Structure 1
Amino acid sequence: KEILDTMLGHLGFVAEIQEIETESGIQLQVFTAEADALIGHNGETLEDLQFLLNRILQSTDRNAPRVQVDVGHWRAMRDDKLRQRIRQIAETVRLTGRPVKLEPMNSYDRRIVHNTLKDDPELMSFSPTDDARIKRITIQRRATSAQH
């Protein structure tokens, strides 16, 4: 929390930071009047800030837990929109039977897609196996061994 506060101060942001324990670890929720500037286009500035914070934490303690940074609950709202969009695409795949290749996504967004579809008995999602940081997920019907 202190490191993020210092980083934001050096960048010229006045902010209040709340530390929240979540099931996936620690989240630092930032509240500022300059939220749009801190989030950036499609969350790119927010992602960069989170990346730098985690690199700093890892450099001092290799076992430091990964910290998620959010601004004004932007990430939670965006995640909900992504889940809703994936459910709509899944319905299209279910109806047409045609696979859909999504836009390139970072690992965080890909995890949301995979988790949204993991319990679906009819559909599956998969990422290419290359080393690229940004990958395109495909959503398709599961192969069935026996037709009912």
Structure 2
Amino acid sequence: MKNIMDKKTNLDDYLADLGISEAEDEAPTRKAPSRPEAIGKTAAPEEPLVIVERFLHGLVTRLDEGLDVRASEVEDGIEAEVVGERAARFAGREGRTLSAVETLAYAVLTKHTGRSDVRVRIDAGGFRRRHAETLAKLAERLAVQVAKSGEPHELQPMPPADRRIMHITLKDHPDVMTESVGEGSGRHLVIKPRHAS
């Protein structure tokens, strides 16, 4: 199988392969407000939410016309969900497609705004929500085991977002604490007793 990365050098090449031209990945321009009280209340053309929503809408509708995107601003960035009858398929195996699309959306956002402080999180068909619930339940089960045995438990390496879910789940647990150890793709979570016996 030919590796698409071999000949691609920048984001514009990837977008072109997806059928998204430079003009189409631009944020839409807004009409000038007609009422005096509306002046200053319109979104700027480079607003992060508009950029991400437009990019994702263009991408998902090219892949499947039955899909759409709902995006909103949250405290630390932008959350978007791919919706539609076959949205869950968009997540890909173990959420890898979602992670790749998040990376692309973040790159488009950074390219257009110059900002790198806006997080982009994308879900499809509730995949991330269900995955987070599964991780939280796992963290709670392992916390009980660690508290009972008094021995730390090391998990397999996992993505930062997954480690974060487990850290948050157990941050106020009275008997255990969590720590991320390792480097790069080998970084993993350790659940250990809060109070040494």
Scaled by the length of structure 1, what TM-score is found? 0.86
**Post-superposition CA distance 1:68-127 (Å, at most 9, x none):** 111122211211111011101100101111111112110101111111111123211111
Question: Which residue of structure 2 aligns with residue 13 of structure 1?
Answer: 64
Task: Please point out which of 71, 87, 103 is paired with 1:35.
Answer: 87
Distance 1:41 1:123 in 2: 32
Question: Which one-letter code corresponds to 1:43 in the other structure?
Answer: G
1:1-148 to 2 correspondences below 5 Å? 1-10=53-62, 12-14=63-65, 15-63=67-115, 65-130=118-183, 132-144=184-196
Identity of aligned residues (%): 28
- How many residues of Structure 1 are paired with residues of Structure 2 in the alignment? 143
**Structure 2 gap ranges (5+):** 1-52
Question: Which one-letter code corresponds to 1:66 in the other structure?
Answer: R
**Structure 1 gap ranges (5+):** none
Q: For residues 118 and 143 of structure 1, do their structure 2 counterparts lie closer, same or farther at Cα, with a shift above 3 Å needed?
A: same
Deviation at 1:62, TM superposition (A): 2.6
* Backbone CA RMSD of aligned residues: 1.9
Deviation at 1:143, TM superposition (A): 4.1
Distance 1:37 1:76 in 2: 15
Task: Say which SS state the counterpart of residue 116 (structure 1) adopts.
Answer: helix
**Post-superposition CA distance 1:15-56 (Å, at most 9, x none):** 121123334432111113333431111111111111111111
Instruction: Give the number of the structure whose alpha-carbon radius of gyration is greater.
Output: 2
Distance 2:73 2:55 in 1: 17
Scaled by the length of structure 2, what TM-score is found? 0.66
Q: Which has the higher contact order (CA 8 A, sep 6+)?
A: 1
Runs of 4+ in 1 over 4 A off after TM superposition: none
Deviation at 1:4, TM superposition (A): 0.7
Question: Which one-letter code corresponds to 1:112 in the other structure?
Answer: I
Are the equivalent residues in 1 in contact too, given 2:61–2:68 (CA < 8 A)? no
